[in-house]
Structure 1
Amino acid sequence: MRPLPLLTPENTPFWTGGERGELMIVHCDACDAAIHPPQAICPRCLARETTPRAAAGTGTIHSYTINHQAWAPGMAVPFGLALVDLDGEEGVRLTAEMVCDDPDAVQIGDRVAVTFLPVADVWIPQVRPA
């Protein structure tokens, strides 16, 4: 079983946007900075007004790791985790599980698209080759 995030007012749009197929990234209403992970105060200008917006849901792999060790009973291996520079979201890097046939074929610079894995009341962002 996957550990699931605790939903808060700040992060609920991020974890539930996948129900509509949308990757929701918070933006500052004052300076338009993209804020991830979601938080109530803009780290750039300290404004307290923020709004979640649907992101393009595509990006480029900045870095990744392939895990070959099962840390818990029943965990499928190998699996990859990617750090993705999101298109149109300056400064935002999304960490997500890679969904692909051959995780060992993944390379830095590969293009990916976000998909979602529904678990209980959250939709976990994942990435697959674009």
Structure 2
Amino acid sequence: MSTPQLPAPTPEIAPETAAFWAATLTGTLLLQRCGGCEQACYYPRYVCPQCHSTNLIDFEASGRGTIYSYTVTSRGILEYANAGAYVLAMIELDEGPKMVSNIIDCDPAGLAIGQRVEVVFSDTGGGGALPRFRPTVSES
């Protein structure tokens, strides 16, 4: 089954997200780690959601995780109205945080909770690339 052509809207870049979006252009998924409690977090922010420290340090994530939850959306809205069926998923990254993204390059019928995935990036043509995921072929 072929993956529908999904839109890749240009992100709105704020000061706290600038490093994240710049890293996506080089194929890197950045997370933050709190210097106070060691909690890894996603999305980029100024304050740790666990201990409220402002000592957050960017680090390069592995880009791997597991499917925590997913749904196949057969009727999108707005930019996704003509995309056809696509997968929207919550991915639990190996580093701990969860993020919502699309799963691409697969037959949705073959997906399962707990399945391994890896990040791929869809260029937006304007300052960032959207992190999306695809099933991992093999673990090294």
Same fold by TM-score greater than 0.5: yes
Structure 1 segments (4+ residues) deviating >6 Å = none
Greater mean deviation of Cα atoms: 35-44 or 110-119: 35-44
Aligned to 1:63: 69
Measure, in 2, the Cα distance between the counterparts of 1:59 and 1:67.
Answer: 21
13, 23, 28: which one aligns with 1:22: 28
Aligned to 2:11: 5
Task: Determine helix, strand or coil for the equivalent of 1:20.
Answer: coil
75, 82, 92: which one aligns with 2:89: 82
Measure, in 2, the Cα distance between the counterparts of 1:116 and 1:27.
Answer: 22
Measure, in 1, the Cα distance between the counterparts of 2:74 and 2:123.
Answer: 24
Q: What TM-score results when the alignment is normalised by the length of structure 1?
A: 0.88
Measure, in 1, the Cα distance between the counterparts of 2:59 and 2:33.
Answer: 7
Q: CA shift at 1:2, angstroms?
A: 4.5
Q: Which has the higher strand share?
A: 1
Aligned to 1:48: 54
Aligned to 2:120: 115
Aligned to 1:100: 105
Long gaps (5+) in structure 2? 1-6
After superposition, the CA RMSD in angstroms is 1.7
**What is the number of equivalent residue pairs in this alignment?**
128
Long gaps (5+) in structure 1? none
Q: CA shift at 1:69, angstroms?
A: 0.5
8 Å CA contact 2:11, 2:127 repeated in 1? no
Greater mean deviation of Cα atoms: 93-102 or 109-118: 93-102
Q: CA shift at 1:3, angstroms?
A: 3.9
Give a deviation string over 1:15-35, Cα, whole Å, max 9, x none. 231222211001112222112
Q: CA shift at 1:105, angstroms?
A: 2.0
Of all paired residues, the percent bearing the same amino acid is: 31
Aligned to 2:4: none
Q: CA shift at 1:6, angstroms?
A: 1.6
Q: Which of structures 1 and 2 has the larger relative contact order (alpha carbons within 8 angstroms, sep 6+)? A: 2
8 Å CA contact 2:88, 2:103 repeated in 1? yes
